[in-house]
Amino acid sequence: MKKAWLYSAVLLAALLGGCGFTDTPNELMRAPTADGDQKSINQAVMQFLPPGSQLTVPLHPSEASAVTLQDLTGDGNPEVVAFFKTEKTDYEIGVLVLSQKQGNWAKLSSFTGIGSELDYVTFEDLNGDQLPEMLIGLGGGENLNKELSVYSITQGQVQELIKQPYSVMAVGDLTGNGLSDLALVLHDHNNLTSKAEMYGAKDGKLAKLTELPLEGAINGYEQAIIGKASPTQNGLFIEAGLGAHSASTELLVWDEGKLHNPLAKIDGEMDLTFKPYSLYSEDINGDGIIEIGVTTQPPGTDDLSMAEIPWVSSYFQWDQMSGLKPIEEHYQNFLMGYDFRIPDKWEGKYTITSSDQDPNSMLTRFFFYADNGKTKAELLTLQTVPTKEWAKFESMLKQKQVPYIVLKEATKQVLVAIQPQVTPNLGKSAKQEYKSLLLTPDEVRKHYKPVTMPM
């Protein structure tokens, strides 16, 4: 028995001592094999990249990535398109296209363009040949103009179809014929001229369809999107910066082969889409139609400075004529992290005061507002409390029997909605109206959503 122990001890010692027959844990660390496809594609891409190159991600649109699988040749097998920067120079962006040949990735093409950043990448069929073209926009940096190249692959060769400068661009069906169009908006900073160009399929080729001069006395363009302007018509929404922070939105619609601006400013009248602070157009209510955002000032805040005014985000839809119809109003506070949709019944009868200077207790109050401010009564308060003080604050609310609704418990702060406790001293009809404007806790929750951080 003793001998048996001796043998086992010796064997175990040999086993433990000479761990040479297997790898150390650090040598065994490797990426999951399950994403084998992506991994092998990545390896293939890395293999064909010039030494010292790094993949780079396009700035726009948000869903674009450094490596994309896209069938550009129509053979049923996707090609790999990868974007990279080389070590040699900061002013060149490379494009690598790989295609699959007998199960292996082979280089189809590799080329570079001049530019310090990859502004825009998308794959769309613009010339109507059912094959997507590569749209690659390169830029020189912030507020500088960019250049878009459209490439197609024919017989294994990459061909540049057009090359055009732009400030902002959008791709989408603007004409309503089911094909994607390309809209380029160019601002010439020196001559203060602007134009919008439309490209699309014309006789099976990509060609300029039309162009429209735009207001040139602006600061620059920030964004362009193509989407539904009305249930029946698509439009191009262009966000233009006017001054330091003021902005306006231009809506262009397709009208019998021409671009047309139905909301064009008529001399002597106010620009309908002028906004003191920039607010991008978007489909805010999810009905599929793009709303134009305008920042508006709540009543009774004329005495405040521009920065202090609690700007309300008002969203309008084009009325298919030359006007706008109001859709929704929101009060968005990025510091407090919420987006409160103004209840429809409040419209025109409310005002807001907001104090967000003290980060420990930021406060927004909504008031019933009538008779030019002679009648003013609190409807709702939104307040943020630091998480570590929340327990104390909550017990205080409970003690005072204040009705409150917790909207968001984040790691750093708690957002709470506090409802008024006492009915204010108002006239009889005003009191009735005030009461009708009060919200139930459910309504408060329904109108709240967390604000989306800029991506």
Partner 1 sequence: MMKGIRTRLVVYFGLILLLIVLLLEGLFYWAVHSYYFGTATEALVTRTTTFTNFINKYTTSYSLKDKARYILENVSNQEYAKVEVLDIDGRVILNSYGFQTGEIIQTPDVIDALKGQSGLHIGKNPKTKERIIAVSNPLLFANEYIGVLRYTISAEPLYHAVNRIALYGAGVGTGVVILAFALSLLIAKRIVDPIKDLTKAATQMAKGNFTTRATKRYDDEVGTLADAFNYMAAEIGKNEKLKNDFISSVSHELRTPLTSIKGWGETLISGGLDEPEETMLGLEVISKETDRLIGLVEELLDFSKFQSGEMKLCQERMDIRDVLDDLHLQFAIRSQEKQVDLHLELPSSPLLVMGDPNRLKQVFVNLLDNAFKFTPLGGSITVSAEASEDRAIITVTDTGEGIDAEDLPHITRKFYKGRSKQSGSGLGLAICKEIIQLHAGQFHVSSSVDHGTSITVDLPIEKDKKG
Enumerate binding residues for partner 1 (CB under 8 A): 1, 3-4, 7-8, 11-12, 15, 19, 21-26, 28-35, 38-39, 41-42, 45-46, 54-57, 59, 62-68, 82, 85, 337, 410-412, 453-455
Of 116 and 296, the one with the shorter C-beta distance to partner 1 is 116
Minimum CB distance to partner 1, residue 1 (Å) = 7
Q: How far is the CB of 182 from partner 1 (least distance, A)?
A: 22
Closer CB to partner 1, 67 or 206, in the complex: 67
Strands 117-124 and 104-114: unpaired
Nearer to partner 1, 75 or 87 (CB): 87
Shortest gap between Cβ of 138 and partner 1 (angstroms)? 15
| Nearer Cβ to partner 1 (12/396) | 12
CB of 46 to partner 1, least distance (A): 8
Dist CA 371 CA 373 (whole Å):
5
Taking alpha carbons only, the member of 107, 105, 66, 108 closest to residue 84 is 66
**203 Cβ contact partners less than 8 Å away, ≥ 6 residues apart:** none
- Provide the greatest CA pair distance for the chain: 110
First-residue to last-residue Cα distance in the chain: 72
DSSP letter for each residue of 323-355? -EEEEEEEEEETTTTEEEEPPGGGTTSEEEEEE
Residue closer to partner 1 (CB basis): 54 or 355: 54
Q: Which is nearer to partner 1, 13 or 391 (CB)?
A: 13
> At a CB cut-off of 8 Å and minimum separation 6, what does 190 contact?
none
Place of tokens 């080729």: 205
Nearer to partner 1, 10 or 396 (CB): 10
Considering the complex, what minimum distance in angstroms separates the CB of residue 40 from partner 1? 9
Q: What is the DSSP letter of 64?
A: -
Phi, psi of 372, deg, nearest 5: 55, 35
What are the residues whose beta carbons fall under 8 Å from the beta carbon of 429, sequence distance 6 or more?
none
CA distance 60 to 1: 75
* Contacts of 231 by beta carbon, 8 Å cutoff, 6+ apart: 289
Alpha carbon of residue 346 to chain centroid: 29
What's the min distance (Å) between Cβ of 65 and partner 1? 3
Nearer to partner 1, 38 or 104 (CB): 38
Q: Tokens 């920039």 appear where?
A: 278
**From its phi and psi, is residue 287 left (phi > 0), alpha (psi between -120 and 50) or beta?**
alpha
In this structure, the strands spanning 79-85 and 92-101 are: antiparallel
- Which H helix or E strand runs over 44? helix 36-48
| Least spacing, CB of residue 110 vs partner 1, in Å | 15
Q: Which is nearer to partner 1, 258 or 412 (CB)?
A: 412
Quote the least distance from Cβ 248 to partner 1, whole Å: 24
Contact present, 169 and 137 (Cβ < 8 Å)? yes
Nearest-approach distance from CB 449 to partner 1, in angstroms: 13
Q: Which C-beta is closer to partner 1: that of 26 or that of 399? A: 26
Would you say 390 and 414 are in contact if contact means Cβ atoms under 8 Å apart?
yes
CA distances from 3 to 7, 12, 61 (A): 6, 14, 74
407/439 with CB nearer partner 1: 407
Least distance in angstroms from the C-beta of 333 to partner 1? 13
Strand order across the 117-124 sheet: 117-124, 133-139, 146-154, 157-166
CB of 179 vs partner 1, minimal distance in Å = 25
Alpha-carbon 116 to chain mean position: 22
Q: How far is the CB of 11 from partner 1 (least distance, A)?
A: 5
Q: Between 98 and 214, name the residue whose CB sits nearer to partner 1.
A: 98
User: Distance between CA atoms of 167 and 141, rounded to whole angstroms?
Assistant: 11
